[in-house]
Amino acid sequence: MKRSAENALNESAPSEAWARALVGATLDRALPESFPADFAEGFEAVWRRSLRRVVPRSWPASYQKRLLGSIHIEFLERLRGEDIRGPLHREIEAQVAEAMAEGRSRRETAKRVRAFADERAEALLSPILEGAVEEATARISGEIAGAREEVQRIAALSPEELHRFVARYNWDDGYIYLFQAIRSRRCSLGTAVMIYWRGRPHFFRQYERRSEVPNYCIDNYDLLMEVERKFNKNGFKHHGIAYDPREDGHDLTRTEYPAFGKKRDLPEALYVVTTEEGVFRFSPRTKAAKSAKRVKGAVAADNERSVRRR
């Protein structure tokens, strides 16, 4: 049976096997093979606390999560690309050989070599860690500043400009700007309806409570729920923006998830079409090919330009 490194270290007299075991054990103690992942996790934890202080709470959680993920990956790849264990291994071997040549005991040799390895590991890592911190700080600070500027720019867009921005927006770029869009006082009813139906609300009918929603799509869920709440409070003005969710490439109001169990219905109030003249409701069962007829009784023209049943 092969003896472990610990058993080899406990041999009664110094030997080559003992020296090799001491070198390996000392290297793994000072700088284990898992050190890139270990340091990356610690680095991410430090940044997690920092981001809580600088990222606005109103921004979706996915924004911080995406930043932390990129920090972790970049730092991990940087450490993996550095050959630190190789040089340290050779230096430890030299220290062991020198101590044995001086006739030092196993205890003295081990103590001396371990202290040396700890000090050298820190010396080798320090400039790498400092450089990584400086680079991450500059990049993340710049990215947050850029996001703040974009949020301010979106807030200043006219209803027409905001609608065009949302129509062209790539949802893979995150939800921070979509939240800003629906929170803008210039967000039209048509723009909000576009965001709602492009957010695939049928998928979320399988969840009755927010706690049931998977983390990977929680921002999507929160966005749709915020649209529903603001819509129910008449929080969106009409602004004459035209949008038909049934004609957005295909009929977005038709469910794409028929196999999912349904725990809630989508609000019928969001089955609407907006035109330059006004707003029309339609039945979830009404196809886009059917003509629209505006019902009598226009109300609240200055607010929603009236929501009318189609």
The pLDDT tens digits for 101-121 are: 888 889 999 999 999 999 999
- The pLDDT score that the predictor gives to residue 285 is 67
Residues 258 and 144 in one domain: no
Q: Quickly state the pLDDT bin for 244 (edges 50, 70, 90).
A: very high
CA angle 266, 267, 271 (to 5 degrees): 95
Residues 187 and 134 in one domain: no
Residues 140 and 164 in one domain: no
Tell me if the pTM is above 0.85.
no
Residues 175 and 108 in one domain: no
Closest CA to 37 of 87, 71, 79: 79
Residues 193 and 242 in one domain: yes
Residues 243 and 150 in one domain: no
The C-alpha atoms of residue 192 and residue 307 are separated, in whole angstroms, by: 14
Residues 71 and 194 in one domain: no
Q: What percent of the chain has pLDDT over 70?
A: 86
Enclosing domain of residue 118: 5-154
Dmax over Cα atoms in the chain, in whole Å?
A: 105
User: Highest mean pLDDT range out of 36-50, 72-86, 222-236?
Assistant: 222-236
Residues 193 and 131 in one domain: no
Strands (E), the chain: 272-274, 279-281, 307-309
- The pLDDT score that the predictor gives to residue 209 is 92
For residue 222, CA distances in Å to 132, 237, 266 come to 34, 21, 14
Domain boundary among 154, 172, 189: 154
The whole-number average pLDDT for the span 201-210 is: 92
The C-alpha atoms of residue 162 and residue 147 are separated, in whole angstroms, by: 16
Residues 216 and 274 in one domain: yes
- The pLDDT score that the predictor gives to residue 163 is 98
Residues 170 and 94 in one domain: no
Closest CA to 309 of 267, 265, 273: 273
Domain boundary among 128, 154, 180: 154
The C-alpha atoms of residue 32 and residue 18 are separated, in whole angstroms, by: 19
Domain boundary among 154, 187, 217: 154
Residues 89 and 222 in one domain: no
Residues forming beta bridges with residue 280, ordered by sequence position: 273, 308
Looking at the structure of the chain, the number of domains it has is: 2
| Phi (first) and psi of residue 120, to 5 degrees | -70, -40
The C-alpha atoms of residue 35 and residue 230 are separated, in whole angstroms, by: 49
Q: What percent of the chain has pLDDT over 90?
A: 55
